[in-house]
Amino acid sequence: MLVKDLVERFELEVAGGQNGLDREVTEGYCGDLLSEVMGNAPAGCVWMTVQGHQNIVAVAVLREMAAIVVSGGQNPDAETIQKADKEGIPILKWPDSSFRLAGQLFSAGVGIPEAG
């Protein structure tokens, strides 16, 4: 599934990084402790967090993430959006909890290996 497919299917708002909407999403990841996310988030994931500062983009680039979802009705600050645009990392907004979106992503098949 591509990031742009997630945007459409789950009615996510694109706050920044529109140039990265064709990235492939392979998994989901929830976390707000940046050091934990840096050590454990898989490449290609869509990361759900309540954080909205510039460091989330740096972590997403480091871990080669597909996108960041800022959840809980939080808003990324202007500097974060600028950095996301520069790096091509989509920042999406979700008004509800990360837990609810994670459940919907999983139900949609994100993170479930295809039968082979």
Structure tokens at 90: 């989509």
Residue 62: pLDDT over 60: yes
Beta pairing, strands 91-93 & 67-70: parallel
Average pLDDT, the chain: 95
Residue 116: pLDDT over 60: no
Superfamily of 3-107 according to CATH: HprK N-terminal domain-like (3.40.1390.20)
Percentage of residues in the chain having pLDDT higher than 70? 97
- The percent helix, strand, coil of the chain (3-state, each to 5) is 40, 20, 40
H or E, element range at 46: strand 45-49
The conformational region for residue 68 under phi > 0 = left, psi -120 to 50 = alpha, else beta, is: beta
Domain ranges of the chain: 3-107
Q: What 8-state DSSP symbol labels residue 50?
A: S
Residue 86: pLDDT over 80: yes
pLDDT tens-digit map of 25-41 = 999 999 999 999 999 99
| Residue 113 binned pLDDT confidence (cut-offs 50, 70, 90) | low
